[in-house]
Structure 1
Amino acid sequence: MDPLQVLLLQISSKLNDSDLSSLKFLCMNNVGKRKMDGVKSATDLFSLLKERMEISHGNLDYLVELLLSIKRDDLAKDVKNFNLTNPALSVPVAESVALDETFLVICENVGKEWKMLIRRLGVSDVMMDRIVDAHRSNMKEQLFQSLRTWKNNMGDRATVPALLEALLSCKLKLVHDKVVEHLNLVQI
């Protein structure tokens, strides 16, 4: 059994109708009103959030933030403990921060060539199409969500060097250099 699914099931059983209503309200911008109307339980909501890559083995921060927002600190603590007891499912903090910084630089500097980069990283066209459909009018968000998808799919193999190599193979040397420069400034 998937430990994350078990955790989400446990959390959903501890949420009352008022909690679910609050969570649905908080997630409205990420999921959309039409899909939110079909959500009848916390497990439905968690499934939608997993589809949209808001919740994954390597990224439970959004779930913690949601639970803290509805004053369910007890459940947020359970999620944090899950991350601590399942270290194989999460990326080391320093690498995760470096990846997030790299994502920001890439999103600011890659334009129409973003799909070529994401394909090079191994994200399928189907997944990219889903991301594009979810964020129709925001190319930077499409790129960011695609990078998050890559990170979630690759797990601990999602590294800054892998991203830098992909940038070079896509002939995006200027972006590569900006990422290296930014990471060097962050480390100083």
Structure 2
Amino acid sequence: MAEKFSDDVITAVMTINNALKEPGNNEKFELMLAGLMMRDDLNQREADDIKDFQQLFITLKEKDKIRPGKIKPLLKGLGDIGRQDLQRLLRDGPDGIVQGGYESKKPQTKKPQTAREVPVGPSTAPNPVMPPSEEIMGEDLSQCFFVVVEHVGRDWRFLGRQLNLRQFDFDQIVEQHPRNLREQVQTMLELWKDRYRTKATKASLVAALRKCRMNLAADMAEKTATTE
């Protein structure tokens, strides 16, 4: 069985992900990806697909470029952009927060976007297609899903049943991702979110995890931030 990263590392990855999403950090993240490509840790196609630090962490893990106790590519990447505070956080865990003087910031709550006014035209004019609003989709559980994928293994179907998914759903997921356990868990969670929308909350996911006796995953999920 492959070694898993510690809870401290997973928590650090989520904190760093939030820090690098703050205004003004987009160019720095692009610089980090460029450095990783120069050191052959990523290729151009992979770099183009990576949108944030969590996705970078997952990609390097799947490529076996990082593993528990060996995270040098990520540390070098953070060094490339002068974020020694985040280096310490990733390397030392909670101790790094204290020793490095890094103060984690609460993630900014997304403000609901107001739809632009559409000029009233002839009756034949097509209706504008608007993206699903957060009011319809409910909580953003991306960080919560990241933790669950890290901690839930081959028993993901058991969790899926607690989330009211069906055997037919599981069969389709396995058919889509026959050899990738992580993608199976991620797809199952996304299917649950798409199907139940506002009813698919962090609280209901944590409750389902506890019913499955997946208490470590439940504890970690409770610590994640959500936006509404």
TM-score by length of 2: 0.41
Say which one has the larger Rg.
2
Name whichever structure is richer in helix by fraction. Answer: 1
